[in-house]
Amino acid sequence: MNISKNQLKLITSLSQKKYRQKHNLFIVEGVKVVNEFLNSNFQLHTLFHTNKFVNEDIDKDKLVCISDTDLKKVSNLKNPNTVLGLFKIPEQNKINDKGFVLVLDAINDPGNLGTIIRLCDWFGIKELICSKDTVDCYNAKVVQASMGSLTRISIHYVDIIEYLAATNLPKFIADMNGENIYKTLLPRDGVLVMGNEANGVSDEVKELVNNSISIPRFGDTQETESLNVATATAILLSEFRRGLD
Amino acid sequence: MNISKNQLKLITSLSQKKYRQKHNLFIVEGVKVVNEFLNSNFQLHTLFHTNKFVNEDIDKDKLVCISDTDLKKVSNLKNPNTVLGLFKIPEQNKINDKGFVLVLDAINDPGNLGTIIRLCDWFGIKELICSKDTVDCYNAKVVQASMGSLTRISIHYVDIIEYLAATNLPKFIADMNGENIYKTLLPRDGVLVMGNEANGVSDEVKELVNNSISIPRFGDTQETESLNVATATAILLSEFRRGLD
């Protein structure tokens, strides 16, 4: 079975959030990441492949052969791989409000969100709560940057003000003027809020959170403005987890 | 003075390392980062601007007015700013082999190198030693990702095998099978080697270094392959520095 014009059109449309939501589908590319999604709870819709992808477990109705040229047309990768899968966007689970929860307040950059999802996976954090204006986790760049970690993390897009007002977990925000993280006694369970790349955590969130933490700067100039939000998240999560090991 | 065809050709050629080396020049874009370079020891060669950039301290001979259209042609940014500067590549300093030294073994991705340069700046690390096959730090993407931190770090491209064989500092490599970083007694001064994105630290380097450290994985699956090299560097540098604060 070869690819149809409508299928090509469908794939292209999924680069936009509104069409991902309309069709309830998103794109996964590359043999390695596609295999991680096939082996997860995500449901396959259609798998487009250039006849080099072999997986006997896949229902033949869902397999569509595609030419290298067509794959290049629809791929988001610089060097398109041999396979592109459309998977169904799962229904949002209920938040499991215990253990350690990471909250993102308006993260814009897909690469940053992908890196943060991968960090959650590394540090065993199952619940990631995103403000509604955080970049969509089914954005193709996020999916590729998270390298399959998306299949292991429970991601929720909610009103984070409501969530933060309701949770009983101890709450922390990352803020340039916060307490030195290395000198703060950190609990095993808690909520950490990371803010927007340019503006940090919003004032509304700040009003709801008592504890503010920061990573001290060791350089002698004051010119290094701030760490990138993904690297700051890496350091803070490591600090919360290091005592547990 | 308006831009000439030869100047346009020169700027375009600087996207390639061989022409940067031939002309001994590299590109810096954007008002903020250009100003950081102007206020540093780097020497300006020519400053192209769209007539919106005001800096009275600059020698008029070095200022060239450029149209928005021409700037768009030569810019590496999605949304070109109002200014593009050509700066001279400085001569390589001698390595100051004391304190804390970061060594990169074949880092390929410009974004990763830029993030790592910014991390060095944050953590007060002055010496960054790169293997000769590490991506060029005067690559436009590295310059933009490092956000002016490049002006504060001393970067050396050398034979890292020779350097590691000669240094008297205690040496560490980041390796998946290394000792748990959280349980390792870390010295104040030392050398940390971070390896290539796909292959890690090379075998030749491993033979020269006794101490191997890793960041423990907290997730219960073994599927998260590894952390991105820039986030791993963030966590490891934080661990080396945290005791000093």
End-to-end, the C-alpha distance of chain A in Å comes to: 52
Among A23, A32, A22, A39, CA closest to A146:
A32
Mean pLDDT of the B109-117 span: 96
Q: pLDDT value at position A203?
A: 96
Q: How far is A182 from chain B (nearest CA, A)?
A: 6
Neighbours of B21 (CB within 10 A): 13
From-to residues of CATH 3.30.1330.30 in chain A: 5-88
A230 in B contact zone (CB under 8 Å):
yes
- Count of Cβ atoms closer than 10 Å to residue B230 Cβ: 25
pLDDT at B128 (0 to 100): 98
Q: Which residues in chain B are closer than 8 Å to A225, comparing Cβ atoms?
A: 147
A216·B119 Cβ contact <8 A: no
State the smallest CA–CA distance between residue A4 and chain B in angstroms.
33
- The region of weakest confidence among A106-120, B43-57, B186-200 is B43-57
Q: How many CB pairs under 8 A join A and B?
A: 103
Query: In Å, how far is A46's CA from the nearest CA of chain B?
Result: 24
CB of B241 within 8 Å of any CB in chain A?
Answer: yes
Are the Cβ atoms of B235 and A230 closer than 8 angstroms? no
The nearest alpha carbon in chain A to B180 belongs to A245
Contacts of A183 in chain B (CB under 8 A): 245
Would you tell me how many other CB atoms lie within 10 Å of the CB of residue B82?
17
The average pLDDT across B233-242 equals 96
From-to residues of CATH 3.40.1280.10 in chain B: 100-242
How many whole angstroms separate alpha carbon B245 and alpha carbon B241?
7
Is residue B178 within 8 A of residue B213, CB to CB? The reply is: yes
Q: B244: pLDDT confidence band, cut at 50, 70 and 90?
A: confident
Residues A188 and B45: their CA atoms lie apart, in Å, by 54
Nearest CB to A122 within list B111, B182, B227:
B227
User: Is A122 close to B224, i.e. CB distance below 8 A?
Assistant: yes
Please report the pLDDT score of residue B225 as a whole number.
67
Identify all chain A residues contacting B221, using CB atoms and an 8 Å cutoff: 121, 152
The CATH number given to A5-88 is: 3.30.1330.30
Q: Which of B56-65, B117-126, B200-209 has the lowest mean pLDDT?
A: B56-65
**Could B147 and A225 be called an inter-chain contact, meaning their C-beta atoms sit closer than 8 Å?**
yes
Rounded to the nearest 10 degrees, the angle between the axes of helix B229-242 and helix A110-122 is 60
- Chain A segment 113-132 residues within 8 A of B by beta carbon are 115, 118-119, 121-124
What is the architecture, at CATH level 2, of domain A100-242? 3-Layer(aba) Sandwich (3.40)
**Does B228 contact A115 at a Cβ distance shorter than 8 Å?**
yes
Which residues between 131 and 170 in chain A have a beta carbon less than 8 angstroms from any beta carbon of chain B?
147-149, 152
Nearest to A87 by CA among A146, A33, A27, A22: A27
- Chain B residues in contact with A220 by the CB 8 A cut-off are 124
Instruction: Identify the residue among B229, B238, B241 best suited for mutation to test binding to A, counting A beta carbons within 10 A and taking the highest.
Output: B238
- pLDDT at site A53: 66
**Measured distance CA(B161)–CA(B25) in Å, rounded:** 28
Residues in chain A: 245
Residue B33 has phi, psi (to 5 degrees) of -70, -40
pLDDT in tens, chain A (245 residues): 678 889 999 999 999 999 999 999 999 998 889 999 999 999 999 999 987 666 778 888 899 988 888 888 888 887 777 899 999 999 988 999 999 999 999 999 999 999 999 999 999 999 999 999 999 999 999 999 998 999 999 999 999 999 999 999 999 999 999 999 999 999 999 999 999 999 999 999 999 998 999 999 987 766 666 799 999 999 999 999 998 76
Q: Do the chains contact at A235 and B230, CB–CB below 8 Å?
A: no
Residue B40 distance to chain A (closest CA, Å): 12
Average model confidence (pLDDT) across chain B: 92
Q: What was the ipTM of the complex prediction?
A: 0.91
Does the beta-carbon distance from B245 to A152 stay under 8 Å? no
Split at pLDDT 50, 70, 90, the class of B77 is confident
